[in-house]
Amino acid sequence: MQRRDFCRTAGLAALATTAPWAQAADEAFPSKPIKIIVPSPPGGQNDTLARNIGVAASKTLGQPIVVDYKPGVGGSLGSEFVARSPADGYTLLISLSATLAVSSAVYSKLKYDPRADLRCVTEVILSRGVLVVNSALPIHDIQGLIAYSKARPDQLAMANWGLGSAAHTTQDILNRQFGAKLLQVPYKGETQILTDLIGGQVGFAMLSAPTTQANLQGGKIRPIAIVGTQRLAILPGVKTMTEQGFFHESWDMDGPLGLFAPKDTPLPILRKLNAAFAPAATTPRMQAFAKEFGVTLLGNGLDDAQAHFLKYFDAIKKVTQATGVILD
């Protein structure tokens, strides 16, 4: 027998031997708890959403959903961990698609490719960022923010949740395109940012809508602009960036937050995950969350989720690259 024929025969034999085992593993999924990695510290939007959808999805899957945290490098540490995890459906990532796209644009030496190495299982929500200042500052809109920072170059600190995050690029755009003089201060996550914003250690930040809404009653923070396509029902008097005369492509898109698996996860497992997590994104519990915090629920199908993720990823990466920011 020729060597080529022998190799082909051996390969087919191996496939015939292993395929039933692989199929059996797919059919038995899940046989143990599933872990959702949050690439930021406990207490932020990602954490809240992971826990909310995990409760409903665990009932469908018949296994516990465990939330774990791997913050750092603008969300890249947790994302890379999931991308390099076994593609068996037991390790998932919850992340804003913008975080993945921005990291891909600003870190030329990123150790993985978010676009190629992750597969979107479903998109949970569309969210809009909120630009917020410490209420002790005489700043009520973006024009006032820029004027205040120009009068005090590099004295008004803007907190962001890591170099390469969407908040970091927002600060960079305000400086480069609109002449602000903001000093950027990286944090590991939104909870720490909120603490220092309320305490006055930093004067300005971009927060998620749920975090902003939940902390307005104390009167320590003031929202001055919405980063997204439209105003929020929970903050009806706060105008978008574009309404205030400050346009940038990345500010005119609502950001999806999705659930991701390693790229080579078998299709039957991806379908099971989508069948559990997509409906979990629109449960009464999540509907109450969306109404209270002004987010739009998605819970889309597997193919739609992946297509929308890739389209949004490419758009955000393009506008981020145009800023010229490189962090390594």
Q: Are residues 123 and 266 in the same domain?
A: yes
Q: Are residues 211 and 72 in the same domain?
A: no
Q: Determine the pLDDT at residue 170.
A: 87
**Residue 26 CB neighbours (<10 A):** 18
User: In the chain, pLDDT over 70 holds for what percent of residues?
Assistant: 91
Q: Could you read off the pLDDT of 203-246 as tens digits, one per residue?
A: 999 998 878 988 988 899 999 999 888 888 888 899 999 999 99
Name the residue with higher pLDDT: 73 or 18: 73
Using one digit for the tens of pLDDT, what is the confidence trace for 302-325? 999 999 999 999 988 987 887 777
Q: What is the pLDDT of residue 164?
A: 66
Contact 309, 123 (CB under 8 A): yes
pLDDT digits (tens, 9 = 90+) for 46-80: 888 999 999 999 999 999 999 999 998 878 999 99
Whether residues 113 and 159 share a domain: the answer is no
- Total domain count for the chain? 2
Query: Strand pairing of 182-186 and 156-160?
Result: parallel
Q: Average model confidence (pLDDT) for the chain? A: 88
Give the per-residue pLDDT at 65: 98
Same structural domain for residues 196 and 232? yes
pLDDT tens column, 90-147: 999 999 998 899 889 888 889 999 999 999 999 999 888 899 999 999 999 999 999 9
Range of the domain at 223: 129-251
Contact in structure between 293 and 234 (CB atoms under 8 Å)? yes
Q: Give me the pLDDT at residue 39, please.
A: 93
Residues 6+ away with beta carbon under 8 Å from 85 = 91, 262
115/112 Cα distance (integer angstroms): 9
Tokens 């002449």 sit on residue = 179
Is residue 8 pLDDT above 60, yes or no?
no
Tell me the CA distances in angstroms from 32 to 67, 189, 276, one per residue in order.
14, 29, 15
Q: Are residues 46 and 111 in the same domain?
A: yes
My answer on whether 235 and 289 are in the same domain is no
